[in-house]
């Protein structure tokens, strides 16, 4: 059985959840036909740790806040990202740092260093895919490795790979999604009678919304995801700034009640659509959906994507769109894709 | 590019839709990396037609009602199913005859003859899978060929393959579905104020329900699909007769209004669930779902399956559950799976 060496870049909630699964459930991976060994971790706060024989995850996971890896063998107080990514004995680099919606850095550099060094990359990071996806995928192909990023759209719920692998042979004309759990939760609570601000505070209390909920409420989080879907599934070359974006900040309780009375439900819809002339338009905006629309019944913080196809009409997938374990599963599904690629290359 | 020879068993709506796609859109299949050539057709009414160089589909599709293939080269007034399945130069047998919910015949025999002759089988037929699935899959493996039947559960909407390929590495504890479009349509119309009988008549007028809607309304159609899901996805060995089944025939308008007033929606739910002790229970019954249940918002004749998983919670897919072109796409997706198998075998 092949064992892949991993370097975790960023040691926040998602990569910690992945490390916990690898520590606690080796049989889950064995059943998939491979083993996983973490040989490097870097983190802005903790520094870096490289242990080629496999990191003691118990120790790494229980580092107290405010300490650093410096005290451990192979540890340093400095993240040393480029050095670790380029030179650690990793087969797969797991990129899960924060997303800059402006230039995708530092994640874009992390991905490039890894691909240039002949290492596969799996990532949950929207920024590099939305802003530099085409270029990075080409760099991966040029280096004979994979760049996989299923978690960038809907965390562990399959979207990109589902469209590619399960809807083959269909003509896809549009993709519509509810791609932000916070805004969907807020709209649902407004239907239950809360005001916008009250609903946002409730979402913050529940941990759905950030202290600054602007990216969720104003649609800029969804904008990145729509750019990914347009480029990946409809073959567009759209920059996120070209996605016309309106958030839910101006939706009032009166709007919501009026819609409900007419059998309609306001949802924040991200959409990419191919016009008859082949051009592709992408948008994020609140839409009052009829009750029989496939996305009208998506409630709470759930996310969903509906694919409009020629032979099947609408096919819709819904599930979690966030969460540390849920997003760690996206990384696992990406590693499974890398494993299929490696096995295929060995056979060929 | 490989071209596969097909034998179509049954020339009703679904296989006709497939033949039309093959005649009209060869580029759709070329983009998938293979060609398709129909070399044999059998049908209870039309007889049989075998043309090793490829059947003239224009002629076959325009046979007037009441005539037979006898007048065409290679034609016979008799279906000659066993002879055609065993001896025609087909690589893949496309089984789309009617389903007997009692013994699965004649489809079970068709599938066996094909697999024994070293031919792959793709099928939309619930009966053979629900009643004899394990045995037929073993026969396929013993003969080095594939038996694929994605369309048996939700026509072209991916379910079985989605669970196997997109949810790998997850522990699946339950599968719940809305697996009959007619009964879901009827329940929705009852929510709009119609009585059960009125709603059924409307569904018949729209072509959703058969002249005898018993299999839809009493749950026996869903029972077969639940057995397939339990066996295929949870590793059970359940016979459809072991699925406790209650239809919607006793749901009243009063039940529906009372539920709606409480924020609940009646749905006919097919379910297979693994208990803590490993045993698997399967049922079909009307359930009043809370509004935030992933299946509560599935409206009209749409079908859906919700998978309960350990790391992602509920992941749900919805789409068409019937229709001639939609079901023909299920056959195309099955042929794509056969092609992957063949390519893998060539490489190995």
What's the pLDDT tens digit per position in A219-256? Answer: 999 999 999 999 999 999 999 999 999 999 999 999 99
Q: What is the pLDDT of residue B313?
A: 98
Q: What CATH number is given to the structural domain containing B28?
A: 3.40.50.720
Percent of chain A past pLDDT 70, that is, above it, reads 99
* Averaged pLDDT, A198-208: 93
Best residue in B294, B310, B338 to probe A by mutation, most A CBs within 10 Å? B294
Q: Beta partners for A174?
A: A273, A308
Domain extent, residue A242, equals: 160-319
Q: Is A126 marked as binding a ligand?
A: yes
Chain B neighbors of A158, CB-CB under 8 A: 162, 166-167, 315
* Averaged pLDDT, A202-215: 89
Residue B348, pLDDT > 70, answer no
* Averaged pLDDT, B290-315: 96
Task: Please check whether residue A189 is in contact with residue A197, taking contact to mean a CB–CB distance below 8 angstroms.
Answer: no
Q: What is the pLDDT of residue B212?
A: 87
Q: Given pLDDT bands bounded at 50, 70 and 90, which one contains residue A99?
A: confident
Q: How far is CA A65 from CA A12, A23, A211, A328, in A?
A: 12, 21, 21, 22
Distance from CA of A64 to the nearest CA of B (A): 26
Quote ipTM for the complex. 0.97
Same domain, yes or no: A40 and A178:
no
CA dihedral in degrees (B297, A293, B159, B172; nearest 10)? -40
- Say if the Cβ atoms of B319 and A311 lie within 8 Å: no
Q: What is the pLDDT of residue B285?
A: 98
Same domain, yes or no: B144 and B201:
no
Chain B residue nearest residue A312, CA to CA: B326
* Averaged pLDDT, A260-285: 97
Same domain, yes or no: A149 and A185:
no
Same domain, yes or no: B125 and B76:
yes
Q: Report the alpha-carbon distance of residue A108 to residue A118 in Å, rounded.
A: 16
Q: Beta partners for A180?
A: none
Residue A100, pLDDT > 90, answer no
What is the SS3 string spanning chain B? CEEEEEEEECCCHHHHHHHHHHHHCHHHHHCCCEEEEEEEEEECCCEEEECCCCCCHHHHHCCCCCCCHHHCCCEECCCCHHHHHHHCCCCEEEECCCCCCCCCCCHHHHHHHHHHCCCEEEECCHHHHHHHHHHHHHHHHHCCCCEECCHHHHCCCCCHHHHHHHCCCCCEEEEEEECCHHHHHHHHHHHCCCCHHHHHHHHHHCCCCCCCCHHHHCCHHHHHHHHHHHHHHCCCCCCHHHCEECCCCCCCHHHHHHHHHCCEEEEEEEEEEECCCCCEEEEEEEEEEECCCCCCCCCCCCEEEEEEECCCEEEEEEECCCCHHHHHHHHHHHHHHHHHHHHHHHHC
Residue B277, pLDDT > 80, answer yes
Chain A residue nearest residue B336, CA to CA: A168
**Looking at the partner chain, which of B162, B170, B332 has a beta carbon nearest the beta carbon of A169?**
B332
Q: Which member of A225, A258, A267, A343 is catalytic?
A: A225
- Say if the Cβ atoms of A165 and B166 lie within 8 Å: yes
Q: Given pLDDT bands bounded at 50, 70 and 90, which one contains residue A212?
A: confident
B337 touches chain A (CB under 8 A): no
Q: Report the alpha-carbon distance of residue A186 to residue A205 in Å, rounded.
A: 12
Same domain, yes or no: B176 and B94:
no
Those residues with Cβ within 8 angstroms of residue B265's Cβ, 6 or more apart along the chain or in another chain? B187, B191, B259, B288, B289, B291, B296
Let me know if A138 is a catalytic residue. Answer: no
Q: Is B83 marked as binding a ligand?
A: no
- CA torsion sign, B14 to B18 to B19 to B24? positive
The gap from C-alpha A47 to its chain's centroid, in whole angstroms, comes to 24
Chain A neighbors of B157, CB-CB under 8 A: 312, 315
Question: What total of structural domains would you count in chain B?
Answer: 2
Chain B residue nearest residue A331, CA to CA: B169
DSSP class of A157: S
Checking phi first, is residue A346 left (phi over 0); if not, alpha (psi -120 to 50) or beta? Answer: alpha
- Say if the Cβ atoms of B168 and A311 lie within 8 Å: no
Query: B261-271, pLDDT tens digit by residue?
Result: 999 999 999 99
Query: A307-319, pLDDT tens digit by residue?
Result: 999 999 999 999 9
Same domain, yes or no: A136 and A270:
no
Same domain, yes or no: B282 and B335:
no
Chain B neighbors of A311, CB-CB under 8 A: 156, 325-326, 328-329
Query: B71-117, pLDDT tens digit by residue?
Result: 999 999 999 999 999 999 999 999 999 888 899 999 999 999 999 99
Chain A neighbors of B292, CB-CB under 8 A: 299-300
Catalytic site positions of B: 225
Q: How far apart are the first and last CA of chain B?
A: 18
Q: What is the pLDDT of residue B345?
A: 78
Distance from CA of B128 to the nearest CA of A (A): 23
Same domain, yes or no: B151 and B166:
no
Same domain, yes or no: A103 and A42:
yes
Chain B neighbors of A333, CB-CB under 8 A: 166, 168-169
Say which residue the tokens 């913050």 belong to: A204
Chain B residue nearest residue A155, CA to CA: B312
Same domain, yes or no: B145 and B203:
no
Average pLDDT, chain A: 96
Task: Please check whether residue A330 is in contact with residue A319, taking contact to mean a CB–CB distance below 8 angstroms.
Answer: no
Same domain, yes or no: B152 and B164:
no
Chain A neighbors of B32, CB-CB under 8 A: 168-169
Residue B346, pLDDT > 80, answer no
Q: What CATH number is given to the structural domain containing B259?
A: 3.30.360.10
Same domain, yes or no: A287 and A152:
no
Query: B130-171, pLDDT tens digit by residue?
Result: 999 999 999 999 999 999 999 999 999 999 999 999 999 999
Calculate helix-pair angle for B107-116, B126-142, nearest 10 degrees: 10
List A residues 261-320 in contact with B (Cβ-Cβ < 8 A): 291-292, 294, 296-300, 302, 311-320
List B residues 153-172 in contact with A (Cβ-Cβ < 8 A): 156-158, 161-162, 165-170
Q: What is the pLDDT of residue A348?
A: 62
Least confident residue range of A44-53, A271-280, B201-210 = B201-210
Helices (H), chain A: 13-24, 26-30, 57-61, 81-87, 107-116, 126-142, 151-154, 160-166, 181-191, 196-205, 214-217, 220-234, 253-261, 324-347
Nearest to B147 by CA among B107, B175, B174: B107
Q: What is the rounded radius of gyration, in angstroms, for the C-alpha atoms of chain A?
A: 21
B61 touches chain A (CB under 8 A): no
């Amino acid at each position: 059985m092949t064992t892949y060496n991993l370097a975790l870049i960023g040691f926040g909630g998602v990569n910690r959840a992945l490390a916990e699964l690898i520590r606690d459930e080796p049989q889950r991976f064995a059943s998939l036909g491979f083993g996983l060994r973490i040989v490097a971790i870097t983190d802005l706060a903790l520094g870096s740790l490289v242990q080629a024989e496999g990191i003691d995850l118990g120790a790494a996971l229980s580092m107290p806040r405010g300490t650093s890896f410096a005290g451990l063998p192979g540890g340093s107080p400095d993240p040393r990202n480029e050095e670790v990514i380029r030179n650690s004995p990793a087969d797969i680099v797991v990129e899960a740092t924060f997303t800059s919606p402006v230039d995708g850095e530092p994640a874009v550099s992390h991905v490039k260093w890894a691909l240039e060094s002949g290492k596969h990359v799996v990532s949950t990071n929207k920024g590099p895919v939305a802003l530099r996806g085409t270029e990075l995928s080409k760099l991966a192909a040029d280096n004979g490795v994979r760049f996989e990023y299923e978690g960038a759209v809907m965390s562990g719920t399959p979207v990109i790979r589902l469209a590619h692998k399960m809807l083959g042979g269909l003509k896809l004309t549009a993709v519509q999604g509810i791609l932000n759990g916070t805004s969907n939760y807020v709209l649902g609570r407004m239907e239950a009678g809360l005001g916008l601000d009250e609903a946002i505070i409730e979402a913050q209390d529940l941990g759905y919304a950030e202290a600054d909920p602007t990216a969720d409420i104003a649609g800029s989080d969804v904008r990145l995801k729509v750019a990914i879907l347009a480029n990946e599934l409809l073959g567009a070359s759209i920059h996120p700034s070209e996605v016309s974006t309106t958030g839910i900040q101006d939706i009032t309780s009166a709007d919501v009640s009026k819609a409900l009375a007419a059998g309609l439900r306001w949802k924040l819809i991200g959409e990419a659509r191919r016009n008859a002339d082949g051009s592709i338009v992408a948008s994020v905006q609140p839409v009052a959906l009829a009750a029989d629309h496939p996305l009208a019944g998506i409630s709470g913080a759930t996310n969903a994507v509906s694919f409009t196809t020629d032979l099947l009409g609408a096919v819709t997938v819904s599930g979690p769109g966030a969460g540390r374990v849920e997003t760690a599963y996206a990384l696992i599904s990406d590693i499974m894709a890398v494993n299929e690629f490696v096995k295929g290359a060995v056979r060929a």
